[in-house]
């Protein structure tokens, strides 16, 4: 990420994002239900419901821990997050026990190879410049021993989106296919399109599995 973009997410722009997107598990489920007709827990269960609750999970760009808290409510116990906004990190640490949130950047994840069973993003890859996405995906794949999971905005090819009046902060594309292109060790296990109820736009959720893993 360029210095300009990092400074925006680390500064007032990022803090305003936190204030707009601070959800309890029930509120986050309600947000998904209103937008997609199913709760986030229902989507999560379809993708992760059969996984052992003791697996080690990392969220890259965890903000204040909304997604991690929902996974915790589902019974997952070993939950980690990295985040570049220090206000978000401090807020995440106050939201209950069991969330291990530290400072970290997506292009240089501060954990060793294969430390996690599953690494995921939720609305984070869309904010990575296309020139940096290969490196970020490589880092995510490097840190996962078994699975890469994601939920991002979808388009067949890269499309820039003006985000709150700003250019060069939001891009949508087919991130699942990019993972397969840039990380040959990954192959898709499950993909589900998520159409917005109020408009002709799509997010999608995907799960990729490392070839040769015994998961």
pLDDT at 213: 77
Give residue 212's pLDDT: 82
3-state secondary structure of 102: strand
* pLDDT tens track, the chain, 215 positions: 557 788 888 999 999 999 999 999 999 999 999 999 999 999 999 999 999 999 999 999 999 999 999 999 999 999 999 999 999 999 999 997 889 999 999 999 999 999 999 999 999 999 999 999 999 999 999 999 999 999 999 999 999 999 999 999 999 999 999 999 999 999 999 999 999 999 999 999 999 999 887 65
Interatomic CA distance for residues 188 and 35, integer angstroms? 25
> Which residue from 82, 87, 81 is spatially nearest to 22, judged by alpha carbons?
87
The reported pLDDT for the residue numbered 210 is 96
What are residue 210's DSSP bridge partners? 186
d(CA 115, CA 112): 6
State pTM to two decimals. 0.96
Which two structure tokens, joined as six digits, stand for 187? 């192959």
Determine contact, residues 148/141, Cβ cutoff 8 Å.
yes
Give the sign of the dihedral formed by CA 27, CA 30, CA 35, CA 36: positive
Please state the φ and ψ torsions of residue 50, each to the nearest 5 degrees.
-90, -5
């Amino acid at each position: 990420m360029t210095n300009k973009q990092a400074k925006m997410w680390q500064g007032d722009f990022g803090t305003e994002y936190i204030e707009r997107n601070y959800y309890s598990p029930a509120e986050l489920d309600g947000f998904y239900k209103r937008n997609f007709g199913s709760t986030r827990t229902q989507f999560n269960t379809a993708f992760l419901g059969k996984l052992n609750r003791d697996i080690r999970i990392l969220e890259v760009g965890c903000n204040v821990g909304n997604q991690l808290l929902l996974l915790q409510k589902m019974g997952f116990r070993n939950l980690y997050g990295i985040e570049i906004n220090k206000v978000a990190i401090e807020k995440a640490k106050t939201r209950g026990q069991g969330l291990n949130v530290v400072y970290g950047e997506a292009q240089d994840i501060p954990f060793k190879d294969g430390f996690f069973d599953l690494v995921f993003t939720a609305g984070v890859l869309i904010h990575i410049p296309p020139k940096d996405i290969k490196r970020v995906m490589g880092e995510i794949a490097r840190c996962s021993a078994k699975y890469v999971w994601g939920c991002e905005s979808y388009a067949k090819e890269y499309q820039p989106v003006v985000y709150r009046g700003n250019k060069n902060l939001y891009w949508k594309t087919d991130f699942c296919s990019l993972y397969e292109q840039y990380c040959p060790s990954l192959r898709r296990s499950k993909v589900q399109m998520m159409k917005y109820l109020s408009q002709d736009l799509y997010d999608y959720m995907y799960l990729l599995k490392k070839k040769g893993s015994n998961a």
